[in-house]
Amino acid sequence: MERLKSLIPNDLKHAIGESTTEKLALTCSSLLHFLRPLPLFHQVIEELTGSEMALCRKSQKAALDLKLEGNRCFSKGEFHQALSFYSQALRQLPMSFDDIDVKLGATLYVNRAAAMHKLGLFEECLRDCNRAIGLLPSYVKAWYRRGKVNASLRNYVASVSDLEVALSMESSTSGKSIIQEELKMVTGKHDGTNGARIPNNSDTEKELTSLADSHPVVLQCVSTPAKGKGMASPKDIPPASLLHTEEPLAAVVMKSCRETHCHFCFNEVPADVLFCSSCTIPIYCSQKCQEQAGGEQFCWNRAFCPAQNNFSPDLAKHITDVTSANYTKNIENDKHFEHIPEHRHECGGTNWPAVFPPDIVLAGRVVANSMEKRRLAGKISVPMENFDFAHHYDKIPPDSKLEFHMYAIVLSFCLQTYYSMDFPCTESTVSQLVLLICQIKVNSMAIIHIKSTDEAEKFKKGQKLSAVNNVLSSIEQVRVGQAIYLTGSLFNHSCQPNVHAYFLSRTLFLRSTEFVPAWSPLELSYGPQVGQMDLLERQKSLEEQYYFTCQCLSCSELNLSDLVINAFRCPKRNCLGAVVETAYQKPQHENFVQLSAKSHVCRLSLRDSVSDKEIQKVAHKLLEKSGAFSHIGPAYCLSCGSRIDLDSAIATSNNALLSIKRLKDSIILNDGVGISNALHLLDLLKSVRHPYSKLVAQAEDYIAEAFVKIGNLEPATKHCNASIKILEKLYHAKHIVVGHELIKLATIQLHLGDGTGATDSIKQVEVIFSLHYGPDVNKIFPYIGILKEDAVSIASRLSV
């Protein structure tokens, strides 16, 4: 792309950079006319779409080589490595109906099943056995392995039947002897019952369905002069109400998660990961996701007939049950399945889905969705529909306009390789694609999942200190995907939102976090929030990413968090005033102040600030009613007017925080010297930073983690509490960020044996999480339930 961009004449670049929505068709036509004759342009298109040059092509030879590597590792007892090689082999093996080598596919599934069996991954092993049998029902090793893993799962009835099928199919004397020995062992354990039922995808779907409230909230799209379209309700909305759930119009996995998360549902993939049948790009967690994404079913072999192979009636029924179970389930799924396959147009040996940024791939998927819907409706004469999303094209920087023009043209040619002349590369389709890319930039949502950890299992096994360390370091949100939602995109932004957005799989859930009066705006956060950033940082972030200036209540009125989040301490003893790096002006006899920094000037109302006791303490001079005050510059206290050496304070603060982080991460903590130095640095930081500064909260958190690392949990509790108190000032007491910190605190208290303290902390967590995730919070975060059980148990023992 950069090579092509360098060839574009400067006058055309300038015209594109200065273009408006009205001139878009003209600039698209000019760029298209310039690029079409260029040999380099056609070379780029060939590199992106040509199957001969595609890096994602399947290769049976590569699959065989990887299988041999897997066998070598397995024979040496390197089962993790063997598992990896077998999975890579399955990724390379052509699996479409026309190209599949059934015997090799079944062998790879059984080999991977054997490696997983050795690693104790019994459920994953069973699924791979079923896939091998689905491909090749007469494969003895698949039935034998299935019998062994069913025995490991204590499914003894199924295990005996599997092994009897394997025995009936085995032709060699030595093979029969091995199976008979296994049968004897299993029969000795056989008590006529099966063990625990193996969970499947439908269980998760039932759980997700249970999250929906029985009385949905009535929503209405409204329009306001300040924000345009938005969402509201004609009725009052109680806290924690489920407002809306929605599947995406289109979604795409982030590049950073391509090898770890399912490309359809965005959950982490299990060990028995599945792959696209025709290319090596996507990975999937289940056959259902694989089929929904690609629109092609797994290659089930339905030609095998047990009745023709001299099996007893019982064994014939067992074979039929096993071989038809998954196929029948897929048929039932298809009856209710209306999803348009979103990967199909990208498949077949093309590079562009792996090369383009996620938002460009997402634009392609939106087009594909529209094309398929219109094709089904018999309206293919119009290749693209116009979406009623904001695009802010006129506000986009010149460099971005040129980039969007380039991607729109190249994407149109890539789509044409699949849709042929149903998708013509004209200035009309290109200009629509430019606007679509802008709309995705402005309206798409990041799909966020909580990083999965194994703390719950560690608590069950008594590995509590390890679990504490993981909680302190691993509670984080991971951006796994990017998606666009038709209704979800209508909710406006607020830096103090009253709506919480979260995702289960790829489904968007929106829930109220406070009481919302009828017709009040329902607003979520696009990212920046009060407590996370100060006013100027939020404005800059929203302007750069979404091309609008935020006018929410928090950006229009003076608030405590913005005053103190990055503030320094007043040098005057007992003064809680904030010293900031920006300037404030207050016109005489007016009820507002102006915040000025570089190119930004923000006007902030004082209407509700005068009665706020905390603001009175930190910024008394801004609230004075006399006409004397007109300006407070950087480095001056907003309460008493005292001045500090701002450059020195900044240097001291930065050095102290950086040193604390380094000490926390270093081994020197183990000898106790490091922790002493860290505490000294914390005191130094607190001597220059305001007591409510976010950097002080961050430092307290670092110190808490440091104490956990050396096993000294009482001071860890103290510093964790100190961090939470500051965060409650910056956000509010029921903010989700405070909830995550309380989980850390409860974990430390629990390991200390403080059941009462842990119980109190967990109660606060449940209140906060229920506001954001509803009454089924323990289904989404089972770790909280385990913490609660342990806390109650410890508290009960202590009371006795």
For residues 560 and 615, is the Cβ–Cβ distance under 8 A? yes
Distance CA 715, CA 760 (A): 18
- Mean pLDDT across the stretch 287-309? 71
What per-residue confidence (pLDDT) applies to 474?
A: 45
Would you say residue 277 has pLDDT above 80? yes
pLDDT band of 799, cuts 50, 70, 90: low
What per-residue confidence (pLDDT) applies to 606?
A: 81
The values of phi and psi at residue 221, to 5°, are -80, 125
- With both helix axes pointing from N to C terminus, report the angle between 173-189 and 156-169 in degrees, rounded to the nearest 10: 170
Whose tokens are 């009040």? That residue is: 520
DSSP calls for 2-44: HHHHHHS-HHHHHHHHT--GGGHHHHHHHHHHHHTT-HHHHHH
Distance CA 660, CA 574 (A): 26
Q: Name, of 190-204, 321-335, 463-477, 698-712, the range with top average pLDDT.
A: 698-712
pTM for this entry: 0.88
Q: Which amino acid would we find at residue 789?
A: E
pLDDT band of 268, cuts 50, 70, 90: very high
Choice between 244 and 593, residue whose per-residue pLDDT is larger: 244
What per-residue confidence (pLDDT) applies to 778?
A: 72
For residues 372 and 418, is the Cβ–Cβ distance under 8 A? no
DSSP calls for 692-734: T-HHHHHHHHHHHHHHHHTT-HHHHHHHHHHHHHHHHHHS-TT
Cβ neighbours of residue 523 closer than 8 Å, sequence gap 6 or more: 230, 491, 492, 493, 494, 497, 498, 499, 552
- Mean pLDDT across the stretch 84-90? 96
Whose tokens are 């904030």? That residue is: 578
Distance CA 741, CA 758 (A): 13
Q: Which amino acid would we find at residue 56?
A: C
Distance CA 569, CA 745 (A): 27
CA distances from 306 to 108, 165, 317, 474 (A): 24, 10, 8, 51
Choice between 373 and 97, residue whose per-residue pLDDT is larger: 373
pLDDT band of 215, cuts 50, 70, 90: low
DSSP calls for 254-298: -GGGTTTB-TTT-SBP-TT-EE-SS-SS-EESSHHHHHHHHS---
Q: In terms of DSSP bridges, do strands 600-605 and 592-597 run parallel, antiparallel, or are they unpaired?
A: antiparallel
* Per-residue pLDDT tens digits for 412-449: 999 998 888 788 888 899 999 999 999 999 999 999 98
pLDDT band of 662, cuts 50, 70, 90: confident
Would you say residue 20 has pLDDT above 80? yes
For residues 48 and 407, is the Cβ–Cβ distance under 8 A? no
For residues 41 and 4, is the Cβ–Cβ distance under 8 A? yes
Would you say residue 58 has pLDDT above 90? no
Choice between 487 and 372, residue whose per-residue pLDDT is larger: 487
Would you say residue 460 has pLDDT above 60? no
**End-to-end Cα distance, the chain:** 72
pLDDT band of 473, cuts 50, 70, 90: very low
Bridge partners of 592, per DSSP, are 605
Cα dihedral 179, 182, 187, 189, rounded to 10, equals -160
Would you say residue 661 has pLDDT above 60? yes
Whose tokens are 């971005």? That residue is: 400
Q: Whole-number mean pLDDT of the chain?
A: 85
Distance CA 665, CA 650 (A): 23
The DSSP H or E segment spanning 468 is helix 464-474
- Mean pLDDT across the stretch 113-118? 97
The DSSP H or E segment spanning 627 is none
Query: Could you count the other beta carbons within 10 Å of the beta carbon of residue 59?
Result: 14
- Mean pLDDT across the stretch 601-611? 76
What per-residue confidence (pLDDT) applies to 439?
A: 95
Would you say residue 147 has pLDDT above 70? yes
Bridge partners of 493, per DSSP, are 524
What per-residue confidence (pLDDT) applies to 143?
A: 95
Nearest to 74 by CA among 115, 125, 14: 115
| CA of residue 194 relative to chain centroid, distance | 37
For residues 700 and 722, is the Cβ–Cβ distance under 8 A? yes
Q: Which amino acid would we find at residue 315?
A: L
- Mean pLDDT across the stretch 591-596? 83
Nearest to 250 by CA among 485, 502, 509, 526: 485
b/e map of 160-171 (b: 16 or more CB within 10 Å)?
bbbbbbbbbbbe
Distance CA 597, CA 143 (A): 72
Choice between 67 and 750, residue whose per-residue pLDDT is larger: 67
Choice between 115 and 351, residue whose per-residue pLDDT is larger: 115
What per-residue confidence (pLDDT) applies to 222?
A: 92
- Mean pLDDT across the stretch 665-685? 79
Domains, the chain: 1-24+350-444 (no CATH), 60-191 (1.25.40.10), 225-248+485-545 (2.170.270.10), 557-637 (no CATH), 648-799 (1.25.40.10)
- Show the beta-strand stretches assigned E in 451-579: 477-484, 492-493, 499-504, 507-512, 523-524, 568-569, 578-579
Bridge partners of 449, per DSSP, are 478
Would you say residue 461 has pLDDT above 50? no
Bridge partners of 524, per DSSP, are 493
The tokens for 55 are: 């890096």
- Mean pLDDT across the stretch 775-798? 73
Choice between 205 and 685, residue whose per-residue pLDDT is larger: 685
pLDDT band of 296, cuts 50, 70, 90: low
- With both helix axes pointing from N to C terminus, report the angle between 694-709 and 646-665 in degrees, rounded to the nearest 10: 20
pLDDT band of 753, cuts 50, 70, 90: confident
The tokens for 422 are: 């149903």
CA distances from 364 to 246, 383, 443 (A): 20, 12, 15
- Mean pLDDT across the stretch 2-13? 91
CA distances from 707 to 435, 453, 471, 657, 678 (A): 53, 21, 14, 16, 10
Would you say residue 598 has pLDDT above 90? no
Percent of the chain with pLDDT over 90: 57
pLDDT band of 303, cuts 50, 70, 90: low
What per-residue confidence (pLDDT) applies to 203?
A: 44
* Per-residue pLDDT tens digits for 521-562: 999 999 899 999 999 999 999 999 998 889 899 999 989 999
Give the helix ranges, DSSP H, for 201-265: 201-210
**Segment among 186-200, 225-239, 355-369 with least mean pLDDT:** 186-200
Would you say residue 331 has pLDDT above 80? no
